[in-house]
Copies of this chain bind each other. A is one copy, B any other.
Amino acid sequence: MAEPTLTSNCLECSENGHACLKNLATDQLKIVDKARTEVTFKKGEILFKQGAFASQIMFIRKGLVKIYLENTSRDLILKIVPEGNYLGLSSLFGKNVFHYTAAAYEPTSVCMIERETFNQMILENATFGAEIIKTLNDETIQSYDRLYSLTRKQLHGRLADILLCLANTIYKNDKFKIPISRKDLADLTSMATESVIRILKDFRNEGILSLSGKTLEIHDKDRLQKISRIG
């Protein structure tokens, strides 16, 4: 049985200024490093399943992940999570299960940290805990925006929001390759797949963006922001 490739350790990672494990002391970093393993996932693979025991917290080192609620009828994609973020924090100090499923959009490598060790670090180091609280709160505030978008805006506004998020937050570029299918864009915006297609066509016809293959380029961001605003 092959060992997963360990490309680094927590001490190096922390020195390089990574967001994970910020505020931990050297001896704590050593403990975490022992309770850690690195795993890579192929495109489309599931990192963890909703309902499964959350025996580890994950940190995305490389890649792109969707987290979603699975349901008999249709999935609800809660969030697209890029590298440099934790997964599974919502299972800390509560019921020891994942509340959502996570799947990789791209080849993705994550650090898995034993939940118990992670909990222990928080209990030993309040500054680390405070940083986690800040992270959780940032996510909550984002989720308010999303709730607003999904419940109060019409289709064009909702799709504009997702596209702006991809350009501004995920890729930090107005031109990017979307690994997200029309179906998934529909599950993100809570609309029908056909509607996603029609609205993308509208945007293309109006010169707001162009699509060639999987590459999307936003030409008129002002316009898109206006569409987002008016809903």
Copies of this chain assembled into the complex: 2
Whether the pair A69, B125 counts as a contact (CB closer than 8 A) is no
Whether the pair B144, A69 counts as a contact (CB closer than 8 A) is yes
Q: Mark A182-212, 1 if CB is under 8 A from B, else 0.
A: 0000000010000000000000000000000
Q: How many residues of chain A get a CB closer than 8 Å to chain B's CBs? A: 42
Whether the pair B140, A93 counts as a contact (CB closer than 8 A) is no
Question: In the complex, what's the smallest C-beta–C-beta distance from A33 to chain B, in angstroms?
Answer: 21
Say whether A6 faces chain B, with CB atoms less than 8 Å apart. no
Say whether A132 faces chain B, with CB atoms less than 8 Å apart. yes
Whether the pair A92, B137 counts as a contact (CB closer than 8 A) is yes
Say whether A53 faces chain B, with CB atoms less than 8 Å apart. no
Question: In the complex, what's the smallest C-beta–C-beta distance from A157 to chain B, in angstroms?
Answer: 12
A→B interface (CB under 8 Å):
69, 71, 73-74, 76, 78, 89-94, 99-100, 119, 122-127, 129-134, 136-141, 143-144, 146-148, 150-152, 190
For this complex, 13 residue pairs linking A to B, each with C-beta atoms less than 8 Å apart, are A69-B148, A76-B147, A78-B144, A78-B147, A92-B137, A93-B133, A94-B141, A125-B126, A129-B133, A133-B133, A140-B140, A140-B143, A151-B151
Pairs of residues from A and B, 8 with the lowest C-beta to C-beta distance, nearest first: A129-B129, A93-B134, A126-B126, A151-B190, A90-B137, A123-B126, A136-B136, A94-B137
**New A-B contacts (7) at CB < 8 Å, excluding given A69-B144, A78-B144, A92-B134:** A89-B137, A90-B137, A93-B131, A124-B126, A126-B126, A139-B140, A146-B147
